[in-house]
Structures are given as structure tokens and as C-alpha cells.
């Protein structure tokens, strides 16, 4: 089982990056993605994320995160790495 993260664990920069990558999602889907990211449990969460937003959108999300890593503080970077370390290639 992976680490569990709560909404308070993430800073505003992280939220902005996620928002930018999910601009055109319906509010319910966006909420589901946030809930999932905040309670990430590795591979099972990856599968849920793929079901919610699909593989293309997952790739868009990861590209947006990678592109904006320099805007995150060290704690936010570490949080993201911990979320995605077991499921996605996150360099």
C-alpha cells in the first residue's frame, strides 16, 4: 500500500499545476482526481486515475507537472515524487 496524502500536504503551486492540466474537465471529475491524488495508494490509484481521466489526460497531467517542477518548493517536489514513484515514470 502506498503513502496516503491529505489536501493540506500540498501547497498552492502544486494545485495550480494540476488545475492547469485539467482545465477542461468537468468539476466532478476534477474533484475525483484531487481526492485520488490526496489519498494515493500506488498502482490501484493509477488504475483509478486512468479510469477517471483516461491515458491521454494522465500523460498531459504528468507533462504539466514535469514542465513546472521549478515552481515547486522542495517539499512539494518530494510529495509528487512519493505519489508517482510506484506507478509512473516521474523524472
Residues 6 or more apart in contact with residue 81 via CB below 8 angstroms = 90
Residues 6 or more apart in contact with residue 30 via CB below 8 angstroms = 22
Per residue of the chain (91 residues), give pLDDT as tens: 444 444 444 456 667 777 888 888 888 988 898 888 878 787 888 889 899 999 988 888 878 877 887 888 888 778 777 776 655 554 4
pTM: 0.66
CA distances (Å), origin 89, targets 38, 59, 63 = 19, 11, 11
How far is Cα 6 from Cα 36, in angstroms, rounded to an integer? 10
Number of Cβ atoms within 10 Å of the Cβ of 75: 12
Please report, for the chain, the start and end positions of each structural domain, with discontinuous segments joined by +: 17-84
Amino acid at each position: 500500500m502506498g503513502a496516503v496524502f491529505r489536501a493540506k500536504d500540498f501547497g498552492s503551486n502544486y494545485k495550480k499545476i494540476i488545475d492547469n492540466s485539467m482545465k477542461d474537465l468537468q468539476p466532478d471529475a476534477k474533484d475525483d482526481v484531487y481526492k485520488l491524488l490526496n489519498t494515493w495508494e500506488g498502482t490501484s490509484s493509477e488504475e483509478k486515475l486512468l479510469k477517471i481521466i483516461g491515458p491521454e489526460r494522465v500523460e498531459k497531467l504528468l507533462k504539466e507537472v514535469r514542465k513546472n517542477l521549478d515552481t515547486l518548493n522542495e517539499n512539494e517536489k518530494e510529495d509528487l515524487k512519493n505519489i508517482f514513484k510506484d506507478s509512473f515514470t516521474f523524472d
